Structure 1
Amino acid sequence: MAPRLFSCFGRGGSSHHNAYRSHGFAESASATADQLTEEQNRGGAILVELFSSQGCKTSLEAELLLSRLGRGDFELDVPVIVLAFHVDYWDYMGWKDPYGSSLWTVRQKGYVEALNLDTMFTPQVVVQGRIQCVGTDEDALLSHIRSAARFPAPGLQATFQKPSEDSLQVSLTGPLRIKIDGQGVDIMVVLYENGLVNDCPKGENKGRVLTNDFVVRKYEKLCTVKDISAKKTISGTITFKLWEGFNSSKCGVAVFVQNSSFHTFGSQNFPLADNLL
């Protein structure tokens, strides 16, 4: 039986949940109508976030769908950046997700509040921080991506160094390519990993081999910016502590601009080089 305020689609019985749209939230970054220019309409990538768990049987189907999306299997006229946040609230069901984190659960809870939802559930997909659907609903997901608000990709340049065997230094510099007002935005940096494979000896997925891509391993705020022009250069450096078995060829770094209502205003993706030194 699912705990109150949490649900996992497909655990038994028919699902009564619907996808919800966000209403009534002002765009506190500069996303006013006069700025939605032709450039923005054909702008950068759409950020797609999956909230998932290896402890949820239905999440496996959503993970496969999002892996296909990230690989470019669907005919879309817009690029996407996919991130999978593995939550930890299904760990009690018998299998502790090795990539689950209470921090990712807190992030999902923020979306529940921002989108006026009545529950947390897996698998859930959020597109551009503005609209969500069940993570297995391919038609709804693709529709939301095609209709999502688009913004120019930030013009950030990234350099990567390993100051030690267990750390990765990410330095970013460049313009956001969108004017930011006095309410400000956060520049978020994510280190994700592809090609993860785990045997699952317990829980709802007992006996299955679990495969995951675009799994968020590290997540930090680079900085907060306010009252800057679209051409203003921002700079910053983050050092991530790495996990055992880190392989740069399986990893990438995503950067996105997000306001306090979790609305995304541009994102970039940086694959890491093989044998990063």
Structure 2
Amino acid sequence: MAPRLWSCFRHKHAAGCRDVDGGLAEEEEEALTAVDGPVLVEMFTSQGCATSPAADVVLSRLGRGDFQLPVPVVLLAFHVDYWDYVGWKDPFGSSQWTVRQKAYVEALGLDTLYTPQIVVQGQAQLSGNDDIALVSAITSAPRFSAPTFQATFSRPTSSFLEVSLNGALMTNVDNHGADVMVALYESGLVTDCPRGENKGRVLSNDYVVRKLEKLCTVADHPARKKVSGMVCFSLWNTFNSTRCGLAVFVQTKSHQIFGSQSFLLPDDI
């Protein structure tokens, strides 16, 4: 097992994104038409917060299409860890997601962290419990062409998932640069909560980010110039591909989002 684990980590850190040599064939150039892509909706939530479960339901309803949005969305739920001391440790909480939310607090000029918070396209934020304001924020958000990545999935061991991506960002990246991020999320999660602010409740969570990796950083990169790379995710004991999906998004250093794309995982991976 050890040599294969090393192989996985080696690919993760060494591969990154590669510019694909040569220009695009004429037929490929014609196929890469600029189409307004989905809006990225990020929720910062916690099972230790009394007001988060209602917002989690709103996020699930967005995914089901209950609000009949005129634009497609990519949904991600980041469970933070700063409510864990209240009496219930969120099993999906992570200090990594708290750090991500703190970055938004700084980028958006906010005073403090709070849950449930929603950030739309990295540029607007609101309470996760205000579904009317949420729909308005999504429909008025700036939209960008979706990346055109093709994804290939493999399992080098039972403990790891490798994802190879090849495509174009469809967004011009200037010399300030941008990161191409890849999130592995899970839906259909049900938790009995015996303690804390939600004591006695059965909590349902969808689009829960389990892993987040950077595919690469690009700068001075034309929209249609193809890149390729690979990320490697360490998997949890209850991993089930039928409940999981993948989101790819282009993020500036100030956390603004300039394009996103999502995939379902193959059932047999």
TM interval, shorter chain, is: 0.7 to 0.9
Shift of 1:75: 1.3
Instruction: Kindly indicate whether residue 268 of structure 2 is the aligned counterpart of residue 275 of structure 1.
Output: yes
Instruction: Kindly indicate whether residue 133 of structure 2 is the aligned counterpart of residue 144 of structure 1.
Output: no
- 1:120 is paired with a residue of what secondary structure? coil
- 2:180 — aligned with what? 187
- Partners of 1:114 and 1:178 lie apart in 2 by 21
Question: What's the TM-score, normalizing by structure 2?
Answer: 0.87
- 2:111 — aligned with what? 118
- 1:64 — aligned with what? 57
- Partners of 1:243 and 1:182 lie apart in 2 by 37
- Partners of 1:84 and 1:67 lie apart in 2 by 10
- Partners of 2:171 and 2:190 lie apart in 1 by 39
Give 1:196-211 correspondences, 5 Å limit: 196-211=189-204
2:89 to 96, 112, 124: 96
- Partners of 1:236 and 1:88 lie apart in 2 by 31
Give 1:1-277 correspondences, 5 Å limit: 43-276=36-269
Structure 1 segments, 4+ long, off by >3 Å, are none
Shift of 1:240: 0.3
- Partners of 2:96 and 2:225 lie apart in 1 by 31
Question: What's the TM-score, normalizing by structure 1?
Answer: 0.84
Aligned residue pairs, count? 237
**Which runs of 5 or more residues in structure 1 are unaligned?**
1-38
- Partners of 2:208 and 2:171 lie apart in 1 by 28
Shift of 1:275: 2.2
Shift of 1:91: 0.2
- 1:122 is paired with a residue of what secondary structure? coil
Q: How big is the alpha-carbon RMSD for the aligned residues of Structure 1 and Structure 2? A: 0.9
Structure with the largest fraction of helix: 2
Shift of 1:223: 0.2
Counterpart AA for 2:224: K
Shift of 1:230: 1.1
Shift of 1:179: 1.2
Shift of 1:251: 0.1
Shift of 1:245: 1.2
**Which runs of 5 or more residues in structure 2 are unaligned?**
1-32
Counterpart AA for 2:82: Y
- Partners of 2:216 and 2:47 lie apart in 1 by 32
